Amino acid sequence: MPSSPIRKLIPFAEQAENNGTSVYYLNIGQPDIETPISAQRAIKEANIPILAYSHSAGFKSLREGLVRYYNDKELPISIEEIIVTSGGSEALLFTFGSAMDVGDEIIIPEPFYANYNGFAIANSVNVVPVEAHIENGFALPPVAAFEAAITKKTKGILICNPGNPTGYLYSKQELEQLRDIVIKYDLFLIADEVYREFTYDGHLHHSILSLEGLEHHAIVVDSFSKRYSMCGARIGCLVSKNKEFMAAAMKFAQARLSPPTYAQIASEAVLATPQSYFDEINDEYVARRNALVDGLNGIDGVFCPKPKGAFYAVASFPVESAEHFCQWLLSDFSHNNKTVMMAPAAGFYAKPELGATQARLAYVLNTTALKDCVELLRQALIEYPHTTR
């Protein structure tokens, strides 16, 4: 199993704090937005004399709430097409286990969410990367690149939309290109859509569930974690109209018995959160994105494409090794008793050398903090002994 590029440098951050240095944590997508009060209230008011198992697919009432959520977005889903999971991570594990056998292959545009590697390894599945490029903001690679990667072992294509770590938002045209490929070769199209609500500058999110012809091929991974700022609840879901796939996934759900009860109670409550909650958050994330990305692009030698969604950005730095630079920031650098923690981007690539000079930053702090982070990185690159400027 690979180490997480998001968490592997935590010991260095802890040591920095022990030495009196304040650390800005831009390495992890933990929003500082308050969890909706409805979730907190639902847990406090729950009267549960016996903390029993739920249905392996999750509370019926929660699944019914999710059906309303998707239908409100003009995605016609029924209760039989949803399995509640312990976070989006478990939904991905169920997907790998249900759709693929030992030695099968999954095609993923890189860079990709680092845990996809871990989930594949846990299921003895091989990741086949198709390279996206920072120069064009990590847009969908050419169709020919996907077709060249398909073998007899290929079972599907996996995307994250909007993307983690890049923040790239796939257009409807790009999704239709993927639809045509998976239909042509009879593959699954798996979309991790956990950041669906976070899109900017007038751009819209298009779910693969909305694409005609994908009924047998589409698998969606979803989560409450980032949408409602409740990462610790560990509730997500798996959505597909493919009955055979869902029957296989249910076996995995039964094997782990049930999702956690209190977390399901909180999740059901937040489904009533009004759109105004997301409108306000999106405005805040746009301001944060602009503060961070515009600031980074103002540093000599740094390049960071502007994301259209989620709350991540990947930047290239004028260094030989971004991993060494990220570690050095924690172990050797301090300016005004402060430093910054980033996630080295090499861990988000199947071919680590492609991300050697890049790092992922999560703009989950307020704009004042993010502007401070930019100035710390500017100063750090002046002091860092291994810049290539």
Here the CATH number for the domain that contains residue 337 is 3.90.1150.10
Same domain, 161 and 251: yes
pLDDT (tens place) for every residue of the chain, 389 residues total: 877 878 889 999 999 999 999 999 999 998 888 999 999 999 999 999 999 999 999 999 999 999 999 999 999 999 999 999 999 999 999 999 999 999 999 999 999 999 999 999 999 999 999 999 999 999 999 999 999 999 999 999 999 999 999 999 999 999 999 999 999 999 999 999 999 999 999 999 999 999 999 999 999 999 999 999 999 999 999 999 999 999 999 999 999 999 999 999 999 999 999 999 999 999 999 999 999 999 999 999 999 999 999 999 999 999 999 999 999 999 999 999 999 999 999 999 999 999 999 999 999 999 999 999 999 999 999 999 999 98
CB 74 within 8 A of CB 277: no
Q: What is the pLDDT of residue 36?
A: 95
Same domain, 18 and 43: no
Same domain, 167 and 248: yes
Same domain, 131 and 217: yes
The reply to whether 4 falls in a domain is no
CB 42 within 8 A of CB 35: no
Q: Among 270, 288, 320, which residue terminates a domain?
A: 270
The reply to whether 223 falls in a domain is yes
Give the CATH number for residue 87: 3.40.640.10
Same domain, 327 and 192: no
Domain range spanning residue 342? 10-34+276-383
Same domain, 55 and 134: yes
Same domain, 43 and 168: yes
Same domain, 205 and 101: yes
Domain count, the chain: 2
Residues whose CB is less than 8 angstroms from the CB of residue 52 and which lie 6 or more positions away in sequence, other chains included = 261
Same domain, 305 and 246: no
Q: What is the pLDDT of residue 304?
A: 98
Same domain, 103 and 204: yes
> What phi-psi label fits residue 229: left (phi over 0), alpha (psi between -120 and 50 degrees) or beta?
left
The reply to whether 291 falls in a domain is yes
d(CA 222, CA 239): 8
d(CA 311, CA 169): 11
Q: Classify residue 35 by burial, with Cβ atoms within 10 Å: 0-12, 13-18, 19+.
A: middle
Rounded to two decimals, the pTM is: 0.96
The reply to whether 123 falls in a domain is yes
Q: Among 254, 270, 286, which residue terminates a domain?
A: 270
The reply to whether 1 falls in a domain is no
The reply to whether 354 falls in a domain is yes
The reply to whether 150 falls in a domain is yes
d(CA 295, CA 373): 9
**Tokens standing for residue 280:** 């306000």
Same domain, 265 and 305: no
The reply to whether 56 falls in a domain is yes
CA 143 to chain centre: 23
Q: What is the pLDDT of residue 383?
A: 97
Q: Among 270, 290, 310, which residue terminates a domain?
A: 270
Same domain, 30 and 151: no
CA 74 to chain centre: 23
